[in-house]
Homo-oligomer: A and B are copies of this chain.
């Protein structure tokens, strides 16, 4: 059973039905249980503004669908009949996340509580190999992860594949291009061995941003998540939802003109951020160009840690340019926070000072706290976790996606 469709549609058009009402109330109750468990039915009723009778009916349905479990009665110590504690189920519904990186494959299963229960990672050089070959290996990894999850009593309800490439907004399972893998126009269904378990692709940076958001305790509802792989990109989360722009190209931070008359860029313009903060540019500036694009991040971190002056200078130059670009982002979007993810997370120690300095000097007319800029807490695990959590969040937003008991 697969959870289909993008959840959370606001659907400002289209009529409302009683099913929609039920759907929303199921989600509201489930959300209350998730946020404040353990909680009794009466607690939920008082908190969300429904009556106990309605909550009873809703909870019964959620239990039937396997989303909520009822714990034993808890002796509260207060007078009155004790409520029966409700909590998110640690069994049954689950989300499978998959990941194809340049140098590895990953799979992970999370339960409804957001807890990772299965975690697999295999080092593998994927650049340049045929897509079908790589996808067959991912499918095998996925099957193994699902089997392991099944042994834990989990049933995978949705599958998302994180890829380092462009995934168009529309459904269809298409990876438009993934330069680092050498993919172009790959449709997952064409290469997946089992038609019932074809995952839905999504850009890894977007998933990393969402994972960071979902993982953070207090929610920064609107933030910019910068991440660097070979290119430099940003995921924009606005009001808690990923913003893709009119055509899906939002967050193209790498080609912001930071020094309009600077060095020429492959895109045809001059002085793009990538010419200062892109992987190739930093390596070149650090005098490490000959090492090629292996694990550039580890190399840079090692040199920086050793105090290698050209590397430190290159990272400071990158940080300044990044600060300039982020100044534009802050001026335009006014986010709650800025997160450095991807490769930047591992280099944050050397980048942050210059980024902070640039922001402090240039963002002066509005409240801006230096703490609003922070490295991603999840680092490299973000995309895979985000892929798995996507299904969980969809279920939380619409529990009727789960099969009825």
Contacts and interface: CB of A to CB of B under 8 A. Distances in A.
A291 interface: no
B13 A251 contact: no
Given A20-B16, A24-B15, A334-B250, A361 B268 contact: yes
Contacts of A18: 18, 21
Copies per assembly: 2
Interface string A330-362: 011111100000000000000000000000011
B16 A25 contact: yes
A69 interface: no
B15 A334 contact: no
A328 B250 CA distance: 11
Contacts of A244: 334
Interface string A23-41: 0110010010000000000
Given A21-B20, A49-B15, A252-B365, A260 B331 contact: no
B364 A333 contact: no
A250 B21 contact: no
A85 B221 CA distance: 45
B14 A236 contact: no
Interface of A: 8, 10, 12-18, 20-21, 24-25, 28, 31, 48-50, 220-222, 234, 236, 238, 243-253, 255-260, 267-269, 324-325, 327-329, 331-336, 361-362, 364-367
Given A14-B48, A249-B334, A258-B260, 8 more contacts: A14-B49, A15-B28, A15-B49, A221-B246, A245-B335, A246-B336, A256-B332, A332-B332
22 contacts: A15-B25, A16-B16, A16-B25, A16-B28, A20-B21, A221-B246, A238-B238, A238-B243, A246-B335, A250-B334, A251-B332, A251-B334, A252-B332, A252-B365, A253-B331, A256-B331, A256-B332, A258-B260, A268-B364, A269-B327, A269-B362, A329-B332
